[in-house]
Each structure stands twice: as C-alpha cells, then as structure tokens.
C-alpha cells in the first residue's frame, strides 16, 4: 500500500501525458517552446555535471588522502552548501553580481569607469544557472567520492606508490577508476535534483522543462499540456538513471584483507598544503560563505522595512510538518517491510526510490489530475493533504533509508530469537524491528521535514489560495526584484537546512571504519 501511495502521482501524470492531447496549449508549447525547454534542460545538466565533477572530486581526494592545514575542518565544511536550495543561492548571487551589487559598485568606485566600460560575468544565463546549482549540489558527489576513496584498497594505492607512480597517476589510474561507480551514482543524484529545479531557473531566466511545467499550469491552466512536458522530463530523468547504471556496469574492485586499515594520509609540503587549503577554502567561500553572508547583510540592511513573515512561517511549519509526518509513516512501513524479502518489499522500496527521482512539479501535476477527477479543489484541507501526499511521494526514501540502515546493522539473531520464542511476524515487527528502526528515525524525520520545507514547484502548484510559505514568499519577492525582502525567508530556509546537514556530517565522522587522523 505504501508503494502504491507513492507511485500514483507518477503513473497518473504519465498516463495523462500519453492519453490526453493537450489541446491548443500543447500545440503552442510544442511549436514554439519545447525545443527551448528541452535544450535548456540538457544544456544545464551537461554544464552542471562538468562543473560538479571538477569541483567535488579533487576536494574529496585531497581531504581523504592528504594532511594539510585545516583538513579536518574542511572535511565537514564542504558539506554545508547542501543546506541552501539552488533558488536561494540564485537570489544571493544575482544580487552580489548585479549592476548595483557590491562587486560592480567597488569596480566603478575604484576605477571611475561606467558600467558600459568593463565586462562583468552575467548570472542570468545558462552558465549562471549551472554555477549556482553546482554550488548547491556538488556535496552529493563530494560525499560519495569521499566514501569511495576511504573504502578502497589501501594496498592498491601503496603498490602504485612503490612502483614509482606520482600522486596524480595514483589518483588518475588507480583511485579514480575504482571510485567511478560511486561518483557516477552521486552525480546522477545531483543531476536529478538539478532537473527538478524551478526557482533558480525561473529567476535567472533559463527555460527548462520544470519551468515549463509550472508555467503551463499557472499561465495556461492546462494540465494535459503540462503532462506532455512532464513526459519529456521523466524521459530525461530515466535517461540519467540508465546512464548511471550503464556507467557502473560491472565495475567494482576486489578488496584485500587490509580494506579497512587506517588511511595513511601523506603530509603535503608547506606550499602544497597551503594550496590545498586555499582550494578547499575557495570552494566553501564561493558555495556557502559569500551567498549566505549576502543574505545576512541584506536582512540587517533592511531590518526596519522587512515585511512580516510570521504567517508564512506558520504555514510552512504546517505544510512541512504534514508532509514529513505522512512520509515518516510511509518510510517506517517500507523499512519494516524491507526486512522481509519478497516481491512486495522490493516493489515498495523501488517506488520510494522512483518518487525521489521524479521532480516535484511532475508529482504535483499528478496530484492535480487526481483531485480534478475526484471533483476536489485546491482549498483548505484538501490542498494541504495534496501537498502532504506529494511531499511524501517525493521524499519518503530520504526517511526510509536511515531506518533500513539501522535495521541492517541489527544482529539477525534478535529476530531469530523472537521467532524461536513463538512471536508472530506482527509481534516481531512491533517488539523487535520497530524499536531498532526508530533508532534511525531521528535523522530521517529531520531530513523529511527540511526537504518538505525547501520544496518550491509543488508548493506553488498546490498550495491553497493566499497560503504562502517561506519558499513561496521568497520566490514572489525575488520575482518582483525585491531581493532585500526575499533575504529573510531565504535565510530561514538555509538555517533550517543546516540542522540535518550538520547531523549528517557528525554521523559520517563517527562511521568511517577506514578513516582516522
């Protein structure tokens, strides 16, 4: 049942896109906008993927294999950009790099030039969008690459070193091929998040399929046309998943008996160590410190004229709490089901993973179609339930995986002992499996809440009339070029996101068997 609840929005949208014609709205989109939407999405994914790889993989290699000033701090600082959604970074960087931003103002003050006399990077284009999404999403690849470098065979690296291989050759010819499957998995996850982005693409003026889906609903009021666009987006997401599987293929590496021996980090010479510190510091500065500092500055600068956001905060807590609660229940059911092998367990976990891979705008469209068929409207409790449903469909796997991991660490003898004492499957689930699963529930619940809080396109499409959340309010202010007003809700969203990211970093620091100072 949990798997079906998660899967319905996806299947409804796909069926609607295949069966319904889309009408005049679809004809207009197909003839004039579809190429731009598809090209913008593919171009954004390609450029973002390249930028993520050249940012995340070297950083992960440095903090894993070398000792340099600040390494232990950078190891967890580099995860923090996960707390800020892409659209928040887009607002901050558009202000930082804009004509009246501090950088361009400083250039004009120092040189005496006018804005026409010099070139300055423009954020409102495809490279600008790829840049802010790279800042927000590179930690996915950083984490998977770091985990892969930590867990691969130390003997293989030492053998390469004994044969005279340089540091670069050991990285390029030994470590990187062994870590490729993990890096591909992290990159696929990051690019699926990029494909789901709406706020950053809309604000920076880059046409993407997710932007087109929301616009088809808001501007044309035509779910069938939006469903046709959703088909194209889902096809791209499936392509990303298949590409990751193909890249992984049969790749793997056989580990020796010293697999979990402590990583011997080579101490870099002073100059190289300072360069490594500078590189990690630059990544953290650009991806997190600069945009968040700008938001803080805008809040402080306009604190006397900031519009009240108490109601938006209350609405956010209601919606995010409802979605997180439903997702938590579904995640718990799936985690307990997965403990029992079989078709039902496999289907539930597959549906949870599929829901996470599908953008929120597509799931919201499916919920809209279901509500329309049932004669329900986006008002009151019905809209809140629809949003909670979409949040659960999208994020249940984020809560289920920590619980599944907790169950996986529990000794199988506990369950066998309960069965030998005559406990029924239900009694075992309640008395043995449930307490174990709940040990991983705190992290899962926090992640579910914050992910629901940050979701923008689904909230825009399904929220009740005049029911603004922090993300909706920030988007509205930024769209009206009121960035000072958008700063406070954006900053609150980022601060809320810091909690699970710090918890994640803490858990990783306590669970690396092959890593030590």
The pLDDT value recorded for residue 338 is 63
In a domain, 27, yes or no: no
In a domain, 463, yes or no: yes
The pLDDT value recorded for residue 89 is 95
Q: Is 173 helix (H, G, I), strand (E, B) or coil?
A: helix
Confidence class for position 284, pLDDT limits 50, 70, 90: very high
In a domain, 511, yes or no: no
342 lies in the same domain as 470:
yes
In order, the DSSP letters of 322-356 are: HHHHHHHHHHHHHHHHHTS-SHHHHHHHHHHHHHH
285 lies in the same domain as 238:
yes
Query: Poorest-confidence range of 14-28, 78-92, 451-465?
Result: 14-28
In order, the DSSP letters of 51-68 are: HHHHHHHHHHHHHHHEE-
338 lies in the same domain as 282:
no
346 lies in the same domain as 289:
no
Q: Identify the CATH number of the domain in which residue 369 sits.
A: 1.10.3720.10
> Long-range contact list for 445-449, CB < 8 A, 24+ apart?
445/324, 445/328, 445/399, 446/499, 446/500, 446/503, 447/395, 447/398, 447/399, 447/402, 447/500, 448/323, 448/324, 448/327, 448/328, 448/331, 448/391, 448/395, 448/396, 448/398, 448/399, 449/320, 449/321, 449/324
Count: domains in the chain: 2
Can you give the pTM of this predicted structure? 0.83
Query: Poorest-confidence range of 37-41, 373-377, 508-512?
Result: 508-512
Domain region containing 404: 1-11+305-501
Confidence class for position 417, pLDDT limits 50, 70, 90: low
296 lies in the same domain as 310:
no
In a domain, 513, yes or no: no
Last residue of a domain, one of 301, 331, 364: 301
- Section 12-35 average pLDDT: 82
pLDDT in tens, 419-441: 565 665 556 555 666 665 555 56
427 lies in the same domain as 282:
no
5 lies in the same domain as 130:
no
In a domain, 194, yes or no: yes
Distances (CA, A) of 282 to 185, 277, 378: 25, 8, 45
In a domain, 21, yes or no: no
The pLDDT value recorded for residue 405 is 61
The pLDDT value recorded for residue 516 is 41
277 lies in the same domain as 338:
no
Distances (CA, A) of 114 to 97, 105, 109, 121, 214: 16, 10, 9, 15, 39
288 lies in the same domain as 313:
no
Query: Around Cβ 264, how many Cβ atoms within 10 Å?
Result: 11
222 lies in the same domain as 310:
no
pLDDT in tens, 223-236: 788 888 888 888 88
Last residue of a domain, one of 301, 329, 359: 301
296 lies in the same domain as 312:
no
In a domain, 378, yes or no: yes
Pick from 159-163, 273-277, 331-335, 360-364 the range whose average pLDDT is largest: 273-277
274 lies in the same domain as 328:
no
Query: Poorest-confidence range of 137-146, 291-300, 448-457?
Result: 448-457
- Section 165-179 average pLDDT: 69
Q: Which residue has the higher pLDDT, 245 or 197?
A: 197
pLDDT in tens, 439-492: 556 666 777 787 888 888 888 888 887 788 899 999 999 988 888 889 999 999
- Section 134-160 average pLDDT: 77
- Section 355-381 average pLDDT: 80
Residues of the chain with pLDDT > 70: what percent? 75
Query: Poorest-confidence range of 99-103, 152-156, 492-496?
Result: 152-156
Residues of the chain with pLDDT > 90: what percent? 25
pLDDT in tens, 28-60: 888 899 999 999 999 999 999 999 999 999 999
In a domain, 238, yes or no: yes
| 191 CB-near residues (< 8 Å, 6+ apart) | 45, 48, 49, 240
Averaged pLDDT score across all residues of the chain: 80
């Amino acid at each position: 049942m949990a798997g079906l609840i998660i899967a319905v929005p996806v299947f409804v949208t796909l069926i609607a896109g295949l069966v319904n014609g889309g009408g005049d709205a679809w004809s207009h989109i197909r003839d004039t906008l579809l190429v731009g939407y598809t090209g913008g999405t593919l171009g954004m994914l390609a450029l973002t993927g390249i930028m993520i790889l050249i940012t995340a993989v070297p950083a992960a290699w440095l903090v894993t294999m070398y000792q340099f000033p600040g390494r232990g701090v950078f190891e967890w600082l580099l995860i923090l950009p996960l707390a800020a959604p892409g659209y928040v970074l887009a607002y901050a960087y558009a202000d930082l790099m804009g004509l009246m931003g501090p950088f361009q103002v400083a250039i004009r003050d120092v040189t005496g030039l006018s804005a026409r006399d010099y070139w300055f990077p423009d954020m409102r284009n495809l490279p600008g969008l790829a840049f802010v999404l790279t800042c927000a999403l590179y930690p996915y690849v950083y984490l998977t690459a770091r985990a892969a470098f930590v867990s691969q065979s130390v003997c293989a690296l030492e053998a390469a070193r004994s044969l005279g291989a340089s540091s670069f050759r050991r990285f390029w010819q030994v470590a990187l091929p062994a870590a490729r499957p993990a890096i591909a998995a992290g990159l696929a996850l990051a690019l699926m998040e990029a494909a789901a982005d709406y706020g950053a693409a809309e604000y920076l003026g880059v046409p993407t399929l997710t932007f087109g889906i929301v616009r088809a609903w808001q501007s044309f009021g035509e779910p069938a046309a939006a469903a046709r666009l959703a088909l194209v987006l889902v096809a791209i997401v499936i392509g990303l998943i298949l590409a990751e599987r193909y890249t992984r293929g049969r790749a793997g590496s056989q580990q020796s008996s010293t697999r979990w021996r402590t990583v011997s980090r080579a101490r870099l010479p002073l100059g190289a160590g300072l360069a490594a510190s500078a590189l990690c510091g630059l990544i953290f500065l650009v991806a997190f410190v600069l945009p968040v500092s700008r938001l803080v500055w805008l809040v402080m600068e306009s604190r006397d004229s900031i519009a009240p956001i108490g109601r938006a905060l209350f609405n956010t807590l209601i919606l995010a709490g409802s979605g997180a609660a439903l997702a938590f229940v579904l995640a718990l059911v799936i985690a307990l089901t997965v403990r029992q092998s079989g078709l039902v367990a496999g289907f539930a976990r597959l549906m949870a993973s599929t829901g996470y891979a599908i953008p929120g705008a597509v799931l919201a469209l499916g919920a809209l179609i279901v509500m329309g068929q049932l004669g329900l409207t986006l008002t009151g409790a019905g809209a809140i339930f629809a949003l909670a449903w979409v949040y659960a469909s999208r994020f249940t796997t984020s809560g289920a995986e920590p619980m599944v991991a907790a169950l996986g660490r529990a000794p199988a003898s506990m369950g066998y002992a309960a069965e030998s004492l005559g406990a029924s499957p239900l009694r075992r689930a309640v008395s043995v499996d449930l307490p174990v699963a709940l040990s991983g529930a705190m992290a899962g619940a926090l992640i579910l809440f914050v992910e629901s809080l940050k979701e923008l396109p689904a909230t825009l499409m399904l929220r009740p009339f005049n029911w603004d959340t922090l993300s909706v309010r920030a988007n509205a202010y930024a769209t009206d070029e009121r960035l000072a007003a958008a700063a406070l809700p954006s900053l609150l969203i980022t601060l809320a996101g810091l909690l699970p990211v710090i918890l994640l970093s803490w858990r990783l620091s306590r669970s690396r068997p092959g890593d030590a100072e």
